[in-house]
Amino acid sequence: MIPDKFVVGIGAQRAGSTWLYNLLNSHPEIQLAYEKEIHHFNNLAFGAPNNLKLQKAKLDQLRRCPQENSKLIEWYSLLCERTNTNDWYRSLFCDSNISYGKSVIYTGEVTPAYAILDEYYYRQLKDCFPQVKIIFILRNPVERIWSMARVSCERGHEVLTETYLRNLVSDEGTKLRTQYDRTIRCLLSTFSEENILLIFFEELFANSTLNRLSEFLSLDNKFSENIIDKVNSSKEIDCPDWFREIIVNEYQIMVHNIKKSIGYIPQPWMKYF
C-alpha cells in the first residue's frame, strides 16, 4: 500500500529545495522518501543522474551498522537498483519499503530537476500518481545563477573567472533550469491548476507561505517551527555588475511572462527586472 496522497517539490538549483524537503517531512501527516532526490523522471528523459554514486556511498555507510539500519538498507538497495520503470518508482513509496506512521496520509519526494521536464514526462508522473500535487519554487534568476557560481567555486569545481561566468549563463542546462515560464506552461498543460502551487524563494520563509502550503495540501499547519531558515547557503560575495546585466538581459522576457501569468513578482525581483 501507498499513502493516499502524493506531493512532489520541483524547482531550479539553489532555490530552497532542501528546506522544503525538511519542512514537509516535519509535518506529522507527511513522510517523504528517505532520499530527498529520486531523479527518476529526469533520468528517463536525460540519462543517469550524477548522484547515483552518492546514493551507493550512503548504502555502503548504512551497511556498516546493519542491525540499526535494516529498513534503510532495504530501501537504499532498491533505490540503487534503478530499473528505471514507473513500477520501480512507485515501489519506493510502498509501505513494505517505508515505515509510515499511523497519521501519515502524504508521501512524495523533492527533485528540483523535474522542473526541466516536458509534458511527456509530467504525464508519466501523473500516470504513477493521478492526484499528485506539485510545489514549484522560483528564485530571482540573478540571485540563483550567482549563487550557483559561488557554490561551484566553494566546492572546488570552478574558479570565479569571467570566462566561467559567461559560459555559465550561456550553458543550455542553466537556461533550461531558469526558463520558469516554460515549466509553468508544461505543468498547466498536464496537471489541474488546483494541484500546482507556485512559491517564490524570496517569500519561502514567511509564515504566510506555511499557511499557503497547509491550505494547498488540505492539512492543518503543523509544520515544525525549528526548520532552519536557509540550508546550504553560500558565502556572500557581491555579484559583478557586468555579470548581473548579462543575466538580466537573458531573462527579462521570461520574467515579464511570469509577471503576466501570475500577476506579480516579488519586490526583490523588481530591483533587476
Sorted by where each starts, the structural domains of the chain and their CATH numbers stand as 5-270 (3.40.50.300)
pLDDT at 84: 85
Nearest CA to 264 out of 206, 177, 200 is that of: 200
pLDDT at 264: 92
* CB neighbours of residue 192 within 10 Å: 10
Q: Per the structure block, which three cell numbers stand in for 211?
A: 499557511
Nearest CA to 41 out of 12, 93, 82 is that of: 82
Nearest-angstrom CA–CA distance, 28 and 41: 27
Q: Which residues contact 264 (CB under 8 A, 6 or more apart)?
A: none
pLDDT at 197: 97
216, containing H or E segment: helix 207-217
pLDDT at 235: 58
pLDDT at 21: 94
pLDDT at 97: 86
Nearest-angstrom CA–CA distance, 154 and 116: 25
User: What residue type is 75 in one-letter code?
Assistant: W
Nearest-angstrom CA–CA distance, 236 and 140: 16
pLDDT at 231: 56
Nearest CA to 184 out of 250, 260, 85 is that of: 260
Q: Per the structure block, which three cell numbers stand in for 252?
A: 527579462
Nearest-angstrom CA–CA distance, 268 and 273: 9
pLDDT at 175: 93
Segment-wise mean pLDDT, segments of 10 residues, the chain, 273 residues: 93 84 94 93 83 87 87 92 92 90 93 95 97 96 91 76 91 92 97 97 89 96 76 69 95 95 93 92
pLDDT at 237: 79
Q: What are phi and psi of 222, to 5 degrees?
A: -115, 25
Q: Per the structure block, which three cell numbers stand in for 28?
A: 506529522
Q: What are phi and psi of 199, to 5 degrees?
A: -130, 135
